[in-house]
């Protein structure tokens, strides 16, 4: 009998522990911001501030009871909640309800999240095998240029996407050779990869397209129109007309989860990233595994880039990825190097981008305040690596070159 | 590092530090490897020119070189050429100035075994605070106003990097990740501050997304060239002075000794009684201070105003903060090396800009990207130390063993 009672008792005692109170505080802080957004949209500053102060109080109490990290997290989330909440209440409220059509916002979220999902899952393969990949940004950029270039030259978006993948894999191969074979510092090489991608794509773009820009008739990745779903309330506008690559990212997500956690391949890859010497001892080739993982990551990041130019923006300009590779890296870390975690983080970050994009409609037009929403991914990741809400702990052997004995 | 310690690396943080890697560089290569690496990178860049655009790489490089103004030092050029070269050289040194400082920022953190990849964010923080101080408080007289702007700007950079240092010291959050995140936070903050209806937006024109102009008496004194045509300002000397400060702090102070000790081996330093956490925090803060200083000096020296595009457009890898990494690596973290590496990259940036490169020889828009390529190649080769590995193979067999033993203790 006691076996059934124990979990309940544990759960109850957890809530009164400092850690539990801190977590409640963090929740309240988030709530403070949300109170001011639709569908609730509190009209006065009172509610966000009240709830936010509660969050800060819970945080301070937690800190004083010795659970510093969670406590400070609650304090920070309370302050953020008050700030964001007051920002939102200051905007014209009547406008808010009509313009925030949630489905549109969520569809936009998916569009913003997809490049991040591809790149973050790519990064997961590389980093799980023990190779840091700061070069995700560069590999993505390669994909976005060569995708649109390939589609333009061959007249087919399928070939464009394939060419994009190959280009990303080539750059990843450079990363792999230098990091694995030559045992260079992986962060320096990742930085170099970003420089190279910027140089290569910029050079080719100006040389090939120059002042004319990308022609308008480049084939695009088609949207999948689900006729039957269109009329369905709320769901229809979100999923009814999504780009093929978005659906592909869902497939990739499940596939990468299965490969990483349910197959021997994934087990080997994780073993190489956690304890290469042990993996080597039982006959797993550390080098081959890492090569495969890094090259896969390049291909996937490039897919994200190809979606960006062929399925989303339909154009290319120098440095078009504009830091999305770094957001993907943030999503990966925030998601604790797990596929669904990374996807959830990508959705959250995509949502903040979508908010930043749509908010000017209902803030005073032209206001720069929505820019602040773009900070969210980075601030959250910073909090996550600082270990406030479930600390992100990287694979044990990450960043260490392996020397065969 | 070139070898992993034989013991399984569990729960001990990154054991092989960048600094011990550099100790190896210094012994193995000396000044020759950076030189050969640079030549090698330029050679490959030349191949790119030849293969893709079918231009003559030698005449292209010659045009870039003339655009840098470094031919000013040649005694045989004509008087007319010299005037032009002086103008070009001033621009080159203008670009060299922030690169020296961002290079110092990266190098200082390197010496503590930390990788400050957030130089660009710290540079931006410095310029934001610099432009804010220099454009407000207009009642102040020139010199104290400049000093105040420089101090607060450097402090902003130091504070930003200090957050990363603090997180590394207290909870062990890796500084590469935290500094990248802080970079982007600053870039977007700038978008809000200088954006439409932002708190620091210019009062001149509501659609302009930039700051107010800084007060005229806060412009840094131009000592060489025409102030209207962006002559060289005294900030150059501040940067050079910082090279000396860098050397003195690292080599002649207790703090510098502690930072270097922590860089070589944090555990041994800890056992020897050095406060490793304090060293991490201070190393990052001082590092960020250098980058912040670069930001203020650029604002007071020649930008005079800061726009959203200025900050966010430089978010890519091609900006001075990121170049600082290449400068520090190529300069091998030594003061003299950083000066010459900064000069090289400053010259390269300037020589390929559309103001200074003869478009008849090579289109400047292409050349700018060629610069990025060369920078990437330099980083790649220096980062891997390919030449050390392949030209000094014999030493490679001896040295890593020794290092492996020390880092596993």
Does the residue A381 lie in any domain? no
Residue pair A119/A304 in contact by the 8 Å Cβ criterion = yes
How does strand B222-224 pair with strand A241-243?
Answer: unpaired
Handedness of CA B48, B52, B53, B55 (dihedral sign): positive
Residue A105, CB half-sphere, CA atoms under 13 Å: how many? Answer: 23
Q: Is there a domain that residue A257 lies in?
A: yes
Nearest by CB to A400, from B9, B189, B201: name it.
B9
Same domain, A247 and A344: yes
| Residue of chain A minimizing CA distance to B54 | A207
Q: Collect all residues of chain B within an 8 Å Cβ-Cβ radius of residue A381.
A: 177, 181
Q: Who has greater pLDDT, B81 or A299?
A: A299
Which is nearest to A399 in space by CA: A299, A282, A274?
A274
Tell whether A278 is covered by a domain. Answer: yes
Query: Where among A53, A68, A90 does a domain terminate?
Result: A90
Average pLDDT of the residues in B387-407: 49
Which residues in A lie closer than 8 A to residue B48 (C-beta atoms)? 203
Q: Do both A200 and A51 map to the same domain? A: no
Omega before A285 cis (within 30°)? no
- For residue B9, pLDDT over 50 is answered with no
Nearest to A368 among B197, B366, B386 (CB): B197
**CATH number of the domain within which A330 lies:** 1.10.3470
Q: Is residue A389 part of a domain?
A: no
Are A86 and A222 found together in one domain?
no
Residue A365: per-residue pLDDT:
63
DSSP collapsed to 3 states, B83-117: HHHHHHHHHHHHHHHHHHHHHHHHHHHHHCCCCCC
A155/A175 Cα distance (integer angstroms): 30
**Is the Cβ pair A374, B191 closer than 8 Å?**
yes
Cα dihedral sign for B176, B177, B180, B185? negative
Smallest CA–CA distance, residue B2 to chain A, in Å, is 6
Q: Chain A partners of B373 at a C-beta cutoff of 8 Å?
A: 195-196, 199-200, 203
Of residues A187, A194, A386, nearest to B317 (C-beta): A194
Q: Is B64 helix (H, G, I), strand (E, B) or coil?
A: helix
Subunit contact B382:A188, Cβ cutoff 8 A: yes
Q: What is the mean pLDDT of residues B148-166?
A: 95
* Range ranked top by mean pLDDT from A1-5, A283-287, B22-26, B384-388: A283-287
CB-based contacts of A169, cutoff 8 Å, min separation 6: A295, A298, A299, A302
What pLDDT score does A90 carry?
A: 59
Contact A403 B4 (CB under 8 A): yes
- Report the C-alpha gap between A245 and A231 in whole angstroms: 23
Name the residue among B16, B197, B383 with its Cβ closest to that of A188: B383
Q: Classify residue B274 by its DSSP letter.
A: -
Checking if the pLDDT of B396 tops 60, the result is no
Give CA–CA dist B178/A321, Å, rounded.
20
Which range marks the domain in which residue A294 is found?
Answer: 102-376
Within 8 A of B191 by CB-CB distance, chain A residues are: 368, 371, 374
Domain boundary among A90, A113, A131: A90
Looking at the complex, report in whole angstroms how far the Cα of residue B146 sits from the nearest Cα belonging to chain A: 29
H-run or E-run covering A68: helix A68-90
Contacts of A397 in chain B (CB under 8 A): 9
- Which region among A228-232, B274-278, B382-386 has the lowest average model confidence (pLDDT)? A228-232
Same domain? A77 vs A109: no
The pLDDT value given to residue A45: 61
Give the C-alpha distances (Å, rounded to integers) separating A128 from A164, A274, A357, A393, B381: 23, 8, 33, 11, 26
For the four alpha carbons of B243, A194, A296 and A321, in that order, the dihedral sign comes to positive
Q: Considering A49, A65, A90, which residue would you say is the last residue of a domain?
A: A90
Burial level of A131, CB count in 10 A (0-12/13-18/19+)? buried
Q: Give domain status of residue A283, yes or no.
A: yes
Cβ-nearest to A385 among B52, B178, B209: B178
Lowest-pLDDT choice from A390-404, B225-239, B299-313: A390-404
| Ordered per-residue pLDDT tens for chain A, 405 residues | 344 445 445 444 555 566 777 777 777 777 777 766 655 555 556 667 777 777 777 777 777 666 667 777 777 777 777 777 766 665 544 444 444 456 777 888 899 999 999 999 999 999 999 999 999 999 999 999 999 999 999 999 999 999 999 999 999 999 999 999 888 888 889 989 998 999 899 888 988 887 788 888 888 888 887 776 666 666 666 777 788 999 999 999 999 999 999 999 999 999 999 999 999 999 999 999 999 999 999 999 999 999 999 988 888 888 888 888 988 988 898 888 999 989 988 988 888 888 777 766 655 566 777 778 788 788 878 887 776 555 667 788 887 888 877
Residues A122, A268 share a domain = yes
| Residue A150 and residue A48 in one domain | no
In this structure, the answer to whether residues A74 and A119 fall within a common structural domain is no
Q: Tell me: do A159 and A287 sit in the same domain.
A: yes
Q: Under an 8 A CB cutoff, do A203 and B48 touch?
A: yes
The nearest CA of chain B is from the CA of A55 a distance in Å of 23
Residues of A in contact with B326 (CB under 8 A): 195
Do A23 and A172 fall into the same domain?
A: no
Domains of chain B: 18-408 (1.10.3470)
The answer to whether the CB atoms of A372 and B188 lie below 8 A apart is yes
| A38 & A114 share domain | no
Beta bridge partners, B307, equal B210
Kind plus residue range of the DSSP H or E element containing A387: none
pLDDT at residue B123, as a whole number: 95
Q: What is the domain count for chain A? A: 2
**Rounded Cα distance, B386 and A326, in Å:** 27
Contacts with A210 from chain B: Cβ below 8 Å? 365
B89-144 pLDDT tens trace: 888 999 999 999 999 999 999 999 898 989 999 999 999 999 999 998 887 787 89
Measured between its terminal Cα atoms, the distance across chain B in Å is 15
Both A20 and A83 in one domain: the answer is yes
Give the number of residues written for chain B.
409
Contact residues on chain B for A399, CB-CB shorter than 8 A? 14
Domain co-membership, A172 together with A318: yes
Q: Is residue A70 part of a domain?
A: yes
Residues 6+ apart with CB under 8 A from A213: A315
Whether the Cβ atoms of residue B95 and residue B349 lie closer than 8 Å to each other: yes
Instruction: Examine the pLDDT at B283 and tell me if it is beyond 90.
Output: yes
A384 falls within a domain? no
Q: Tell me, what's the pLDDT at A105?
A: 77
Q: Is residue A393 part of a domain?
A: no
pLDDT value of position B249: 94
How far is the alpha carbon of A199 from chain B, nearest alpha carbon, in Å? 5
Closest Cβ–Cβ partner in A187, A192, A403 for B176: A187
Q: H or E segment at A17?
A: none
Supply the pLDDT for residue B77: 80
pLDDT of residue B36: 77
């Amino acid at each position: 009998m006691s076996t059934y009672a124990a979990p309940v008792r544990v759960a109850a005692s957890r809530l009164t522990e400092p850690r539990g109170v801190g977590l409640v505080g963090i929740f309240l802080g988030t709530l403070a911001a949300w109170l001011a957004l639709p569908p609730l949209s509190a009209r006065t500053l009172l509610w966000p501030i009240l709830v936010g102060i509660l969050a800060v109080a819970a945080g301070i109490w937690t800190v004083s009871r010795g659970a510093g990290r969670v406590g400070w997290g609650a304090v920070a989330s309370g302050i953020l909640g008050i700030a964001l909440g007051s920002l939102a209440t200051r905007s014209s409220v009547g406008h808010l309800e009509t313009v925030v059509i949630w489905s549109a916002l969520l569809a936009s979220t998916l569009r913003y999240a997809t490049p991040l999902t591809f790149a973050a899952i790519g990064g997961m393969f590389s980093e799980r095998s023990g190779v840091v990949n700061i070069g995700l940004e560069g590999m993505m950029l390669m994909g976005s240029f060569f995708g649109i270039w390939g589609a333009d030259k061959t007249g087919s978006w399928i070939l464009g996407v394939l060419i994009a993948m190959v280009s990303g894999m080539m750059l990843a191969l450079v990363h792999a050779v230098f990091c694995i074979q030559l045992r260079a510092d992986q962060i320096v090489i990742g930085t170099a990869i970003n420089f190279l991608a910027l140089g290569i794509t910029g050079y080719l773009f100006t040389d090939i397209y120059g002042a004319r820009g990308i022609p308008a008739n480049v084939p695009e990745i088609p949207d999948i129109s689900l006729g039957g779903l269109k009329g369905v309330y709320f769901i229809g506008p979100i999923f009814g007309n999504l780009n093929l690559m978005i659906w592909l990212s869902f497939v990739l997500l499940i596939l990468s989860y299965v490969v990483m956690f349910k197959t021997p391949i994934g087990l080997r890859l994780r073993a190489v990233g956690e304890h290469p010497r042990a993996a080597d001892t039982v006959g797993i080739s550390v080098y081959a595994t890492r090569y495969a993982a890094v090259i896969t990551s390049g291909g996937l990041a490039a897919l994200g880039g190809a979606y960006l130019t062929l399925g989303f923006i339909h154009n290319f300009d120098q440095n078009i990825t504009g830091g999305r590779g770094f957001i993907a890296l943030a999503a990966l870390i925030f998601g604790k190097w797990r596929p669904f975690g990374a996807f959830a983080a990508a959705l959250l970050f995509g949502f903040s981008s979508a908010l930043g994009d749509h908010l000017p409609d209902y803030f005073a037009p032209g206001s720069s305040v929505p820019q602040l929403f773009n900070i969210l991914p980075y601030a959250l990741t910073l909090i996550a690596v600082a270990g406030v809400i479930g600390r992100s702990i990287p694979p044990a052997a990450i960043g260490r070159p392996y020397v065969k004995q | 590092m070139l070898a992993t310690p034989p013991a399984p690396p569990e729960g001990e943080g990154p054991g092989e530090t960048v600094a011990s890697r550099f100790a190896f560089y210094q012994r193995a290569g000396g000044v020759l490897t950076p030189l050969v690496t640079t030549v090698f990178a330029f050679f490959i860049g030349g191949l790119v020119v030849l293969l893709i655009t079918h231009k003559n790489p030698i005449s292209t490089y010659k045009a870039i070189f003339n655009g840098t103004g470094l031919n000013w030092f040649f005694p045989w050029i004509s008087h007319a050429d010299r005037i032009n070269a002086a103008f070009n050289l001033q621009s080159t040194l203008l670009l060299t100035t922030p690169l020296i400082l961002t290079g110092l920022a990266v190098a200082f953190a390197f010496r503590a075994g930390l990788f400050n990849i957030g130089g660009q964010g710290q540079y931006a923080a410095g310029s934001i605070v610099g432009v804010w101080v220099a454009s407000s408080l207009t009642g102040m007289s020139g010199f104290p106003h400049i000093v105040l702007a420089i101090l607060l700007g450097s402090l902003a950079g130091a504070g930003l990097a200090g957050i990363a240092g603090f997180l590394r010291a207290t909870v062990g959050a890796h500084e590469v990740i935290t500094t990248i995140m802080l970079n982007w936070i600053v870039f977007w903050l700038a978008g809000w501050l200088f954006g439409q209806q932002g708190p620091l937006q210019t009062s001149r024109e509501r659609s302009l997304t930039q700051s107010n102009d800084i007060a005229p008496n806060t412009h840094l004194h131009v000592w060489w060239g025409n102030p209207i045509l962006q002559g060289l300002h005294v900030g150059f000397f501040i940067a050079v002075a910082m090279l000396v400060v860098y050397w003195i702090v690292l080599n002649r102070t207790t703090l510098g000794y502690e930072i270097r000790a922590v860089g070589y081996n944090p555990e041994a330093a800890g056992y020897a009684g050095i406060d490793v956490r304090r060293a991490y925090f201070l190393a990052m803060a001082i590092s960020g201070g250098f980058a912040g200083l670069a930001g203020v000096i650029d604002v007071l020296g020649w930008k005079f105003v800061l726009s959203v595009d200025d900050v966010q457009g430089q978010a890519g890898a091609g900006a001075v903060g990121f170049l600082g990494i290449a400068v520090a690596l190529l300069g091998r973290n030594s003061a003299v090396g950083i000066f010459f590496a900064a000069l090289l990259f400053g010259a390269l940036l300037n020589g390929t800009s559309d103001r200074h490169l003869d478009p008849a020889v090579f289109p400047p828009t292409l050349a700018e990207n060629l610069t990025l390529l060369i920078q990437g190649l330099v980083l790649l080769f220096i980062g891997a130390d390919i030449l050390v590995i392949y030209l000094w193979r014999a030493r490679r067999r001896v040295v890593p063993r020794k290092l492996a033993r020390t880092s596993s203790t």
